[in-house]
Structure 1
Amino acid sequence: MSTRSSAGTSQPGGRTRAGAPGGRLAVLDGIRVLAALAVLFYHYAALESAWGEPTAGVFPVAHRFAVYGWLGVEIFFLVSGFVICMSAWGRSVGDFAVSRVSRLFPAYWAAVAFTTLVLFNWPEVRRVGAVSDVVVNLSMLQGGIGVPNIDDAYWTLFVELKFYILFAVVVMRGVTYRNCVLFCGLWTLAGVVAPSADNGVLSFFAAPSASPYFIAGIAFYLMRRFGPNAVLWAVVGVQFLLAQHYVHARMLASLGRGTTDQTPAWPAHAIILLGFTVMAALALGALDGIRWRWLPHAGAVTYPLYLIHMMAGLTFIHHFRREVAPVPLFLGVTACMVLLAWLIHRFVERPLGRVLRDRLRRGVQDIRSATPGRPSVDRLPAQPSAPGAERIPAGRTRL
């Protein structure tokens, strides 16, 4: 996922904002690291499925904090809105699609294979369903057709895919300040209307509990690129208020009724406020001085870590819980997952991502030129093309 911003950024009226920072935004990597560790902490120290007993008894102190780790997902969505808007700027819809597919799928395929292997050999926490379920999971589309996720953490990927599909409309029209603000307004309206509307398609794409974070992320990037103004602050403010509305529902979905009733909600509201505040500081350039060299490397591991840590990690904890004390087991499994995530990033995600990106770019170029790279001349007779055939009219969006 690209995290580069332009050094010379233009205001909506054509002016350039002085001092707009360029280069990689290391703070984004730091936020990703904290969000990934928060989710891991929640799964390992708040869920009972791994330990076979209430985690409040296993980690009396840590459990009080771990029950809020699910908020790392919301922070991921917030960062995603910022990064997708930034990385899509100036790209065609074909380039946007290539960047998303080559970024998401290599590590995901490795994670599905790894998790399936673990669950097949140690079906202690979760059993592998039908082989067809594993095959469908490789598409990342299982959430749309009711096929169970191999790993419960994958539900967020389908939410991300919805966001990409919606934002692809902006890319087709051109990623501009005006179009991004219009997109934020329309998606906000859809998220407000969807819960009371009897429309399956609207409810499917509105994603009302997640959209406030994506939209706020987009607004924060517009602040970063063009400078803050009242409209962008209003967008962020509305999203913050909407996000607060869904805290209780998210706690129920993450913790269950019993734990939710015993867990105060105010820390969750405070963490969301903190996330918005940090992103606002990033948008205004207040965190540009953070340029620790290790952050980009750590940030690169967060995606594969997120993909592999849950079901495989819970299985390892469950398998060794009688032989290893809780704290060393927690730390050991976490270290193991981080190491495996780095191996996937280094030996799968990076090389396979490059190959996939190059192949897809050539495929998109073939579509643009209407001349596939390897025509089958022995099976298809040569025919003269009509004058002007397959030309893209001036002013139309390119693939």
Structure 2
Amino acid sequence: MDNGTSVPERAEVRPRQPLPPLVVAPPDPKPAGHRRAGGRLYVIDGIRLLAALMVAAHHYAGTWRADRPGNLIWDRPVSEIMPTVFRFASYGWIGVEIFFVISGFVICMSCWGRTPRQFFVSRVIRLYPAYWFAVLFTTAALIAVPGVWERLRLREILLNLTMLQSGSGVPNVDGVYWTLWSELRFYLLFLVVVAMGLTYRRVVVFCSVWGAVAMLAPVARLPLLELVANPDGAWYFIAGLALYLMHRFGQDLLLWGILAMAWLMGQLELGNRIEEVERVSGWRGSVAIFTVFLLFMVAVALGYTDRIRWKWLVTAGAMTYPLYLVHYAAGTALIARLRDTMDARLLIAVLVTGFLLLSYLIHRFVERPLSRLLKQGLNTSFARVRNADRRA
């Protein structure tokens, strides 16, 4: 269209000057209409519950076969009691890696545009109410059903309420709490980026630096560096961060490269975990499950699942964290006590159903009211600190 300022045909048009080679302009955010109204990705809530059920199935029916005795949950190997169930449940431990990827995605999404104070408050009110209940519930369950798990001393139980027991060399009340230590270290590292202000470029740099340190830490033989870098879980969180950037800004070669690196490092960690801890499933099957999950998350990030808006998935997602916290020690202790009273498959179904109901009650009557009180209290405290600083 000629607006009166067009260049004559014979005039020479100067070419645009290229950007300096080291400057990479981040992509423009997706149009507001690309993302589903309200911003909630319902399908992620469903994936979270599925991952929790995978872990529960693994703990109940996928951790002991004929060549791996060593616990008192069942009176004989699960691979003999229910071989078909065992064949699938033996891969359920991958639900933890799925949790880590989703955590990277969701944390980046929920913290975008927030201050460090808001980030801190959101993590406290999300993690602690259900966790405090779980510590007390599991302790009571192990007192009521002794003989399977060793009960900790009172001072160790009290320290567990801080969620910092792994950093103090104190055992967990429930073995599943080990993942919370990985989550806390991720939050601490990501808080640095939140304080700087989240942008595409800063999150990419964070992924690159963290990934490099996570690879170098074990070779450097520096325990503190390895503790902070968390090489066993780093690349799963990094995958989640890259997926969220795809969701917010669209796909590009750089993000695909980060995701490919996360897959390559992840498959190695899966193999190491099988050899060192699980020993009940194959590397190929584990990598196949992990690969399908990542590809599905790519579809989520690119908007192919935005039409899934089932409201019940919100409730399913809310039940996930309580279910994960309470199912293991208490559930396996009950299996040891009740295994001779009914069919093994029925017993597992009853336990899972019962813990799902308990998880909903925890969310409804523990998490919701305590979260509101904690949020109000923390916001009041931060306001007082801010006012005190101004007066000073």
Q: Normalising by the residue count of structure 1, what TM-score does the alignment of the two structures yield?
A: 0.87
Residue identity opposite 1:343 in structure 2:
L
Native 8 Å contact 1:115 1:312 kept in 2: yes
Please give the secondary structure, in 1, of the residue aligned with 2:83.
coil
Map residues 344-363 of structure 1 onto 2, 5 A cutoff: 344-363=362-381
Give the structure 2 partner of residue 212 of structure 1. Answer: 235
Shift of 1:65: 1.0
Distance 1:332 1:101 in 2: 32
Distance 1:60 1:15 in 2: 50
Per-residue CA deviation, residues 313-361 of structure 1 (Å, 9 max, x unaligned), is: 0011111111122111111111111111111111001110111111111
Give the structure 2 partner of residue 367 of structure 1. Answer: 385
Residue identity opposite 2:54 in structure 1:
A
For structure 2, the residue ranges without an aligned partner over 5 or more in a row are 1-24, 65-70
Give the structure 2 partner of residue 27 of structure 1. Answer: 43
290-299 or 44-53, larger mean C-alpha shift: 44-53
Give the structure 2 partner of residue 335 of structure 1. Answer: 353
Shift of 1:14: 5.2
1:306 maps onto 2:329 in alignment:
no
Give the structure 1 partner of residue 9 of structure 2. Answer: none
Give the structure 1 partner of residue 310 of structure 2. Answer: 292
Shift of 1:19: 1.8
Instruction: Give the CA RMSD over aligned residues.
Output: 1.5
Residue identity opposite 1:105 in structure 2:
Y
Distance 1:15 1:100 in 2: 26
CA change 1:226–1:14 in 2 (3 A) is: closer
Shift of 1:254: 3.5
Give the structure 1 partner of residue 284 of structure 2. Answer: 266
When Rg is computed on C-alpha atoms for both structures, the one with the higher figure is: 2
Residue identity opposite 2:199 in structure 1:
T
Per-residue CA deviation, residues 67-105 of structure 1 (Å, 9 max, x unaligned), is: 110000000000000000011111111110000001000
1:125 maps onto 2:148 in alignment:
yes
Map residues 79-118 of structure 1 onto 2, 5 A cutoff: 79-118=102-141
Shift of 1:168: 0.3
Query: How many residues matched?
Result: 359
Map residues 312-323 of structure 1 onto 2, 5 A cutoff: 312-323=330-341
Distance 2:110 2:47 in 1: 17
* Match of residue 241, structure 1, among 264, 286, 298: 264
Distance 2:142 2:276 in 1: 24
Per-residue CA deviation, residues 30-82 of structure 1 (Å, 9 max, x unaligned), is: 11011001000000002343213211011111101111100000000000000
Give the structure 2 partner of residue 379 of structure 1. Answer: none
Shift of 1:389: 6.2
Native 8 Å contact 1:111 1:308 kept in 2: yes
Q: Work out the percentage of aligned pairs sharing the same amino acid.
A: 45
Give the structure 2 partner of residue 5 of structure 1. Answer: none
Shift of 1:364: 1.7
Shift of 1:205: 1.4
Per-residue CA deviation, residues 116-143 of structure 1 (Å, 9 max, x unaligned), is: 0000121121021210110011000011
Native 8 Å contact 2:138 2:173 kept in 1: yes
Per-residue CA deviation, residues 211-260 of structure 1 (Å, 9 max, x unaligned), is: 1110010111111111111111111111111101111211134324xx4x
Please give the secondary structure, in 1, of the residue aligned with 2:267.
helix
Give the structure 2 partner of residue 8 of structure 1. Answer: none
Residue identity opposite 1:159 in structure 2:
S
Native 8 Å contact 1:112 1:138 kept in 2: yes
- Where in structure 1 do 4 or more consecutive aligned residues deviate above 6 Å? none
314-323 or 121-130, larger mean C-alpha shift: 121-130
Residue identity opposite 1:310 in structure 2:
Y
265-274 or 51-60, larger mean C-alpha shift: 51-60
Q: Normalising by the residue count of structure 2, what TM-score does the alignment of the two structures yield?
A: 0.89
Please give the secondary structure, in 2, of the residue aligned with 1:171.
helix
Distance 1:252 1:358 in 2: 47
Native 8 Å contact 1:70 1:254 kept in 2: no
Distance 2:165 2:77 in 1: 31
Per-residue CA deviation, residues 246-283 of structure 1 (Å, 9 max, x unaligned), is: 11211134324xx4xxx432110001101110110011
CA change 1:129–1:187 in 2 (3 A) is: same
